[in-house]
Structure 1
Amino acid sequence: MLVLVLASGMAFLDGTVVNVALPSIGADLGADVAGLQWTVTAYLLTLSSLILLGGSLGDRYGRRRVLLVGAVAFAVASAGCALAPDVPTLVAARAVQGVGGALLTPGGLAVLQASFAPQDRARAIGTWSGLTGVAGAAGPVVGGWLVAWDWRAVFLLNLPLAAAVVVLGLRHVPESRSPERAPSLDVPGAVASAVGLGGLTYALVAGPEGGWGAPSLVAAAVGVVGLAAFVLRERRTPHPVVPPSLFSSRVFTVVNVGTFAVYAALGGVMLLLVLQLQVSLGWSALAAGAALAPSTLLLLLLSGRSGAAAARTGPRLPLVVGPLVAAVGVALLAGVGPGDTYPVDVLPGVLLLGAGLVVTVAPLTATVLAAAPDALSGTASGVNNAVARSAGLVAVAALPAVVGLTGAAYADPALLTPAYRTATLVCAGLLALGALVALVGVPRGRLDDVAPRD
């Protein structure tokens, strides 16, 4: 469990820890909004587009082996980020980091599914979800502390963590493979998904800055064609990277739709809240990051119990109530502006957001895995993680453009505050949509009732 939390937590941590460093990166390297977006989205792009392949590689060649290779790649790329002299180099290194994360994340859950007895899995998944959720939620706190010294230290943090994963993984993690693994990998399918996501991401980031010229429109068209080709490929190839049979489960499909809505909201909030606190309220990076500490504490203390409770009562109730509570918290945070104080104006929203995540995250993960055959646990985990990371990718790429935040506007409180408020309310709406999807699509009953039947 320690190795799996360190491995997956490293990938989750880097999805949020960089957000609090963005103003410092922008000032040091002279980046505009597009440069900061690419610093975030380059990582999410390769992570989300290759995480499906990462799950299949683990099922085929050994989940521990792929996880450890991912840890090494992640460490090397992190060193490249820390040494980057300019924005293009930083973005390239972040993209390589995403490749490592794509190998780390699905392998961790698949190892957990293969290593724990069925009666212990729900609590184990709850513990894993809570602790890795803490890693993601702790990102702004840790990032703020490190940025006070140097933003490059945000990336150097990964080196000792990756070393611990490799050393402990070799000694304590059992190797496992899928007995029903395909005889060959669906490389064309993985390439098509990467091209599709890459094209759309480039269009969403570059389009608003360049006035939607020919390059952005071409990239958008390439993205649409790539994703369409991916869907067609998966339906026709005998050995797909994403077996269509997974989606024969209504619960699996519905929960992944809800995952997209919830994680798109979280991606937007985590990006914009720390900017708002630093730029418009004048807080330090450490203070802005520490503002989210109560959410981290709630996840740490309660997520294991949340997973166990969902196993007893069924996933429908927590998957409806959790996003709604988080939506109320995000709606409260939308009102944060210049002159506000932490206890009165920020803390209530942070507490409600954390409580909503506690109720949501572990049951969501447990439901996805319960709805898939054990032999496809790595692939199912990869699909759900791909959906979550793609959601964050789309939110970070699209939200600034939707609310008119372009160029150097992020550094001007008069321009940032109204854009932040509109974007945050959109995120609250996405969380409410996630609750509605669960209400309509997740059946009543215990977690065991969603498991596939022979």
Structure 2
Amino acid sequence: MASDSGDVADTRRTVTDVPTVPSPRQYDDPQRWWILAACCTVAFALQAEPFLWMIGYEIPSSAFGTGWNEYRILASLGVLLFVAFQIIGGVLGDLLGRRKILLIGAVGATLFNLFSLLAPNLLALTLLRAMVGVMGALAFPLTLALIRLTFEGTERTRALVIYTFVTGVGVLASLLGIPFEYWWGWRAALVLPIVVGAVGLYLAWRYVPESRAQGGFGRFEALTAAAWAMVFLAAMFGLVMARLSGTWFNPITVTAGVFSALGLLLLIVWTQFARRQNLFRGAANEVPRHFLSLLLLVSAALSFGLVGYAQMLYGFFFTARQLPGFIAGVALAPVFLGNLFILRWAARFTTSQPAYVSVGGGLAAMGVAMLLTALARPNTPYLFIIPMMMLFGIGFLIASASWAYFFFAALPADLIGLSSGLNRAAGLIGSGLSGVLLATVLALSGTADFKLRMVDLTLTPQQQAVALQAVDTALRQGITADDIAQAPGAIVGLGLMAAYREAFSVGVASALVLAGAVSLAVAAVAWFWLRGVKRAEEAALKT
């Protein structure tokens, strides 16, 4: 990292990327650890943001989560918006300055969080929370990009492992919004991201130097890669939503189609402009679109597994095990806290093993953990579930850290912001798909199992529908399987709430089996693909 000034104490110096011959000072400067602290703090604050349903968006309780359909549509539309701004943030960081865009996004997210405290109604709160997400999407990919830019070699792997762990804990910390809202009101749920965000802002302003792309991959290829990523990710999201809804004219697929069309239009217009202006730098600087698509697919699969596993387990603890919301969140702690004991080993493992072993093996561990967790039932002791959660957490830590290293190495270093934006955007698509797809599987499988249990009780289809309505009523009234004194006689006599708990756990198991199968399939793809890349590199060295 070359500096315009020789003064090391000037923490706001301007730097220039040198992707081929890195300066030793870039990696020996003690300031790099403050840069890591700044990036991790900003990323933690953005990940710790409570979801809208935790702070005012009322979702009626219903059997198998069918009352969440309206919220899922809103959340899916938000995913498409945030994907676009993740990519835009990465591109703007490369072209205009990474420190500048990081600070703009982090300041904006913190300010809109403060404005959210003054929201007079749900509509205003929803719009302000959308702006928090947009500004956070601008900043988030640059937290990862700056770590990639600042560290090299084994230190980079350690830094990525730490970053992965911190952001994972941030996801868990977002669940604090549930008890905070219950005890002190929804505004209290915003205190954590505001305070941590302010600390991250100070660290970023004080220690993060300015940097931007110069030459190398070039501006033409940057916009081309960004446009193709938008086309691919939006199309993938829209196709899955069309399949789930049974129609092409649902609002999510239509919006995804608009985003995909915009990306395709930008790709065509910019390509024609570049040809006229002679902006092409040659095929050696371009990333093949099939290669970029595979990169995005694996990134999406990692987030699909993480978010899906966390959501399904939370639902299992909250509904099937009947734990309070906050306790159900705390019960997920082994997924991340177990990694505290293996951080050093994970860093050594990802450094010493080839990418196909660490990425493919990590994804496989995630898949196996999900399949084993699917065996859990409401009466399964919690201690038996802890090893599965720890296995999943270890697999995710290794696969995610190693994949981030490979992802950045596969794309030109001159566009590290764009690389991070693409990685995070693909992750958003994966998490959005997991929320909708796995919830749909849970509802279909759980409802089918519940009806089978009602058939065993010799109930007619009409009586089964009444029984399901009775469960909806009981859930809205907060009645659990143990609160039989409050329940209507029909629910007591038929044991509907106990049957519902069992059926819900079957739905969770079905969703986890699907998620586990996806992880194992992507693990196989990553293993053979990355092994082929490794062999190609070795063959090139021999020649």
Common fold by TM > 0.5: yes
Q: CA deviation at 1:392?
A: 0.8
Query: Is 2:393 the partner of 1:354?
Result: yes
Query: Which residue does 1:61 correspond to in 2?
Result: 96
Q: CA 1:401/1:250 → structure 2, altered by over 3 Å: closer, same or farther?
A: closer
**What is the alpha-carbon distance in structure 2 between the residues aligned to residue 348 and residue 168 of structure 1?**
37
CA distance, structure 1, for counterparts of residue 535 and residue 198 of structure 2: 36
Residues 317 and 274 of structure 1: CA distance in aligned 2, closer, same or farther (over 3 Å): same
> So what's the TM-score if we normalise by structure 1?
0.81
What TM-score do you get using the length of structure 2 for normalisation?
0.69
In 2 relative to 1, CA 120–99 (structure 1 residues): closer, same or farther, beyond 3 Å? same
Question: What secondary structure sits across from 1:247 in the alignment?
Answer: coil
Indicate the SS of the match to 2:323. Answer: coil
What is the identity, as a one-letter code, of the residue corresponding to 2:319? V
TM alignment of 1:266-285, pairs within 5 A: 266-285=306-325
Q: Secondary structure at the match of 1:336?
A: coil
Matched residues in 2 for 1:147 and 1:198: separation?
37
Deviates more, 1:285-294 or 1:303-312: 303-312
From 173, 176, 183, the equivalent of 2:211 is: 176
Q: Give the corresponding residue for 1:404.
A: 443
Shift in CA distance, 274/337, structure 1 to aligned 2, threshold 3 Å: same
Map residues 9-408 of structure 1 onto 2, 5 A cutoff.
9-14=44-49, 18=51, 21=54, 25-26=58-59, 32-38=67-73, 40-41=75-76, 43-79=78-114, 88-118=123-153, 120-140=155-175, 142-143=176-177, 145-149=179-183, 150-180=185-215, 182=219, 193=230, 197=234, 204=241, 208=245, 216=250, 220-221=253-254, 223-224=256-257, 226-231=259-264, 233-234=266-267, 236-237=270-271, 238=274, 247-248=287-288, 253-303=293-343, 305-344=345-384, 346-404=385-443
* 8 Å contact kept, 1:335–1:421: yes
* Structure 1 range deviating more: 112-121 or 409-418: 409-418
Taking the aligned partners of 2:235 and 2:125, their CA distance within structure 1 comes to 17
Per the alignment, residue 463 of structure 2 pairs with: none
Q: Any idea what the Cα deviations from partners look like across 1:44-92, whole Å, max 9, x if unmatched?
A: 3332222111100111111111111111222233345556666555543
Q: Residue 252 of structure 1: CA displacement?
A: 5.8
Q: Distance in 2 between matches of 1:42 and 1:233?
A: 21
Separation of aligned partners in 1, 2:141 and 2:535: 21
1:385-434 deviation digits (Å, cap 9, x = unpaired): 11111111122233323443699999564664333222121111111122
CA distance in 1, matches of 2:103, 2:401: 24
* Residue 495 (structure 2) aligns with: none
Q: CA deviation at 1:126?
A: 2.6
The alpha-carbon distance between structure 1 residues 63 and 301, as it changes in their structure 2 partners (threshold 3 A), is: farther
Residue of structure 2 equivalent to 1:8 = 43
Distance in 2 (CA, whole Å) between partners of 1:22 and 1:244 is 50
Secondary structure at the residue paired with 2:379? coil
Partner letter of residue 419 of structure 1? Answer: G
Whole-Å Cα distance in 1 between the matches of residues 293 and 351 of structure 2? 19
Q: Provide structure 1 residue ranges, at least 5 long, that are not aligned to the other structure.
A: none
- C-alpha separation in 1, matches of 2:77 and 2:394: 30
3-state SS of paired residue (2:209):
coil
Deviates more, 1:362-371 or 1:174-183: 174-183
Match of 1:436 in 2: 524
Distance verdict in 2 for CA 1:123–1:319, change over 3 Å: same
Distance 1:304 1:385 in 2: 25
Shift of 1:205: 9.7
Query: Aligned pair in 2 of structure 1 residues 199, 383: CA closer, same or farther (>3 Å)?
Result: closer
Structure 1 residue 207 displacement after superposition: 7.8
Instruction: Tell me, yes or no, if the aligned pair for 1:60 and 1:178 is still in contact at 8 Å.
Output: yes
Which of 408, 425, 430 is residue 513 of structure 2 equivalent to? Answer: 425
Q: Tell me the distance in 2 between the aligned counterparts of 1:447 and 1:195.
A: 28
Identity %: 22
Cα distance, 1:5 vs structure 2: 0.3
Structure 2 counterpart SS, 1:174: coil
Tell me the SS of whatever aligns to 2:307.
helix
Report the 3-state secondary structure (helix = DSSP H, G, I; strand = E; otherwise coil) of the residue aligned with 1:178. coil
Q: Once the 2 structures are TM-superposed, how far is the Cα of residue 245 of structure 1 from its aligned partner? A: 5.4
CA–CA separation in structure 2 for the residues paired with 1:133 and 1:105? 14
CA contact (8 A) 1:54 1:106 kept: yes
Of residues 50-59 and 146-155 in structure 1, the stretch that sits farther from structure 2 once superposed is: 146-155
Checking the alignment, whether the CA contact within 8 Å between 2:222 and 2:418 is kept in structure 1 is no
Deviation of the 1:383 alpha carbon:
0.8
Is the partner of 1:282 in helix, strand or coil?
coil
Mapped partners of 2:157, 2:381: distance in 1:
39
Distance 1:127 1:111 in 2: 14
- For the residues of structure 2 that align with 1:262 and 1:127, how far apart are their CA atoms? 17
Q: CA deviation at 1:202?
A: 12
Q: Which moved more, 1:394-403 or 1:268-277?
A: 394-403
**For structure 1, which segment, 74-83 or 172-181, has the greater mean C-alpha deviation from structure 2 after superposition?**
74-83
Take 1:24 and 1:371, find their aligned partners in 2: how far apart are those partners?
41
Change in Cα spacing, 1:192 to 1:157, as seen in structure 2 (3 Å) is: same
Alpha-carbon distance in 2 for matches of 1:280, 1:22:
24
Q: Compare 144-153 and 333-342 and name the one that shifted more.
A: 144-153
**Count of equivalent residues:** 440
Q: Note closer, same or farther for the CA distance 1:119–1:320 as it changes in structure 2 (3 Å cut).
A: closer
User: 2:442·2:504 contact (CA, 8 Å) conserved in 1?
Assistant: no
Q: Distance in 1 between matches of 2:363 and 2:229?
A: 32
Q: Deviations over 1:351-385 (max 9, x none)?
A: 22112112211101111111122101111111111
Distance in 1 (CA, whole Å) between partners of 2:516 and 2:232 is: 30
Distance 1:391 1:170, change over 3 A: same
Shift of 1:105: 1.6
Q: Which structure has the bigger radius of gyration?
A: 2
Q: Which amino acid aligns with 1:399?
A: L
Distance 2:78 2:70 in 1: 13
Q: Distance in 2 between matches of 1:203 and 1:371?
A: 28
Counterpart CA distance in 1 for 2:41 and 2:103 is: 12
> 1:12, CA displacement in angstroms?
2.9
Q: Deviations over 1:296-335 (max 9, x none)?
A: 1233443454244323322111111111111122122223
